[in-house]
């Protein structure tokens, strides 16, 4: 940490700040310039509440220079994390992994038809929500475990993996027989009790960025999972809420290279929830791959106009096929495959 003192700071104020840093367990290196004193603190600064120092008399600025997340930081695993699934699919290596399917599992025919289309187009995961976090309590809330049973069957029939959202601790155990990748939705990114519990589970987790979460907050949430011993974590940029209302959210494409630099964890893009409109999904999917994303989460529905949730952002299966063809070209331009 760096504490920059005000130009007029007195020796007494400087000594007071040094004492406070030492009390917090931090070693202090003092530099006295012509007009300003800088105090550099080294040691266990991750747990220090910097705002307390900002309030001390004579202090101008306090900065953190080491990241507050240790296990999620790139330095912990400079070579990057590759999350491996039981059928050999890996997220975080040269191959961009595509997860696709409906927003919600709705019926046997819907999920089986989607599975066939996703597989034929080159997808690796079948996505579909069984427990849905809906903004309105009157909207379709999902089929629950019976939906997961259908999705597992459909995925197995086509050699696909399954990703589905877990909304609360009590659902974890009952989902494990059906799900290869447990999704934590945007609304639960800071449900720390859920994250702590998922840290204890030996099943990969995909953590979606909260609608108003900074990248640092996303990585701190990932830290909860890693701190529990679950290192199989995939991050997901799914758009954040900004002043722009034209799209459902604003896809923060730049979060992908930023996360790649700050963290060793793989990151995928979700252009469906980011844009909310199917005509904008292909462009943001292409941008995700171009920006270095390790995968994509895309909503595809055999009959989007009749979907029980998120129909407007779901691709028709034919559009998904065309998109996959285009993504192959982009992937090869950035030395990836798909």
Residues of this chain that bind ligand PEP (CB under 6 A): 103, 129, 133, 185-187, 208, 238, 273
Q: Which does 158 bind (CB under 5 to 8 A by kind): Mn ion, ligand PEP, none?
A: none
Cβ 126 vs Cβ 154: under 8 Å: yes
Per DSSP, the residues of 270-286 read: -HHHHH-SGGGHHHHHH
Q: 24-45: buried (b, 16+ CB within 10 Å) or exposed (e) per residue?
A: bebebeeeeeeeebebebeeeb
The least distance separating ligand PEP from the CB of residue 189, rounded to whole angstroms, comes to: 8
Q: CB of 122: closest distance to Mn ion in angstroms? A: 21
Nearer to ligand PEP, 186 or 235 (CB): 186
Nearer of residues 237 and 310 to Mn ion, judged by Cβ: 310
Using the minimum distance from each CB to ligand PEP, give the nearer residue, 9 or 165: 165
Indicate the residue among 152 and 248 with the shorter CB distance to Mn ion. Answer: 248
Selection from ligand PEP, Mn ion, none that 315 binds (CB < 5 to 8 A by kind) is: none
Q: Which does 208 bind (CB under 5 to 8 A by kind): Mn ion, ligand PEP, none?
A: ligand PEP
Residue 133 binding result from Mn ion, ligand PEP, none, given CB thresholds of 5 to 8 Å by partner type: ligand PEP
Q: Which is nearer to Mn ion, 106 or 310 (CB)?
A: 310
Nearer to Mn ion, 103 or 186 (CB): 103
238 contact choice in ligand PEP, Mn ion, none (CB below 5 to 8 Å, kind-dependent): ligand PEP
Q: Which two tokens stand for residue 3?
A: 């504490």
Name the closest residue to Mn ion (Cβ): 103
Going by the DSSP 8-state scheme, the letter that residue 6 receives in this structure is P
**Residue 293 interacts with which of ligand PEP, Mn ion, none, CB < 5 to 8 Å by class:** none
Least distance between Mn ion and beta carbon 180 (Å):
19
- 3-class secondary-structure state, position 45: helix
Q: How far is the CB of 296 from Mn ion (least distance, A)?
A: 14
DSSP E strands in the chain: the ranges are 2-5, 27-32, 37-42, 59-63, 83-84, 90-91, 97-101, 125-127, 161-165, 181-184, 205-208, 233-237, 267-269, 295-299
**Distance (Å, whole) CA 269 – CA 281:** 11
Q: Shortest approach of ligand PEP to residue 329 CB, angstroms? A: 26
Give the integer Cα–Cα distance in Å for 70 and 139: 40
Determine how many CB atoms are found less than 10 A away from the CB of residue 177.
Answer: 10
Residues that bind Mn ion (CB under 5 A): 103, 310
Report the C-alpha gap between 244 and 272 in whole angstroms: 16
In angstroms, give the least distance from the CB of 270 to ligand PEP. 6
Which tokens go with 244?
């722009």
Tokens standing for 326? 């285009």
CB of 73 or CB of 129, closer to ligand PEP: 129
Output the smallest distance, CB 214 to ligand PEP, in A: 16
**Residue 185 near which of ligand PEP, Mn ion, none (CB within 5-8 Å, type-dependent):** ligand PEP
Backbone angles phi, psi at 294, to 5 degrees: -90, -5
Q: Which residue is nearest to ligand PEP (CB)?
A: 185
């Amino acid at each position: 940490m760096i504490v920059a003192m005000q130009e007029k700071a007195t020796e007494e104020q400087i000594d007071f700040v040094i004492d406070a840093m030492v009390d917090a367990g931090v070693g202090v290196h003092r530099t006295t310039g012509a007009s300003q004193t800088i105090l550099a603190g080294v040691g266990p600064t991750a747990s220090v509440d910097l705002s307390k120092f900002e309030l001390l008399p004579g202090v101008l600025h306090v900065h953190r220079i080491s990241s507050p997340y240790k296990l999620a930081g790139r330095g912990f695993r400079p070579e990057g994390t590759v999350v491996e699934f039981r059928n050999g699919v890996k997220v975080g290596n040269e191959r961009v992994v595509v997860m696709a399917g409906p927003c919600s599992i709705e019926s046997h025919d819907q999920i089986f038809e989607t599975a066939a289309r996703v597989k034929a187009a080159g997808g690796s995961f079948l996505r579909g929500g069984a427990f849905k976090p809906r903004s309105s309590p009157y909207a379709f809330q999902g089929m629950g475990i019976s939906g997961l049973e259908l999705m597992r069957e459909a995925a197995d029939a086509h050699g696909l993996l399954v990703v589905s959202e877990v909304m609360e601790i009590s659902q974890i155990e009952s989902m494990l027989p059906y799900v290869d990748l447990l999704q934590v939705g945007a609304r639960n990114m800071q449900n720390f009790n859920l994250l702590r519990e998922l840290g204890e589970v030996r099943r990969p987790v995909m953590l979606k960025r909260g609608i108003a979460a900074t990248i640092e907050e996303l990585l701190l949430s990932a830290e909860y999972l890693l701190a529990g011993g679950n290192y199989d974590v995939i991050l997901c940029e799914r758009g954040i809420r900004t002043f722009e209302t034209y799209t459902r959210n604003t896809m923060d494409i730049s979060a992908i290279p930023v996360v790649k630099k700050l963290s060793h964890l793989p990151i995928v893009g979700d252009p469906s929830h980011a844009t909310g409109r199917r005509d904008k999904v292909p462009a943001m999917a292409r941008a995700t791959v171009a920006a270095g994303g390790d995968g994509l989460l895309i909503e595809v529905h055999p009959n989007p106009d009749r979907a029980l949730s998120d129909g407007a952002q779901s691709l028709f299966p034919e559009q998904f096929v065309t998109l996959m063809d285009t993504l192959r070209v982009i992937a090869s331009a950035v030395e990836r495959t798909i």
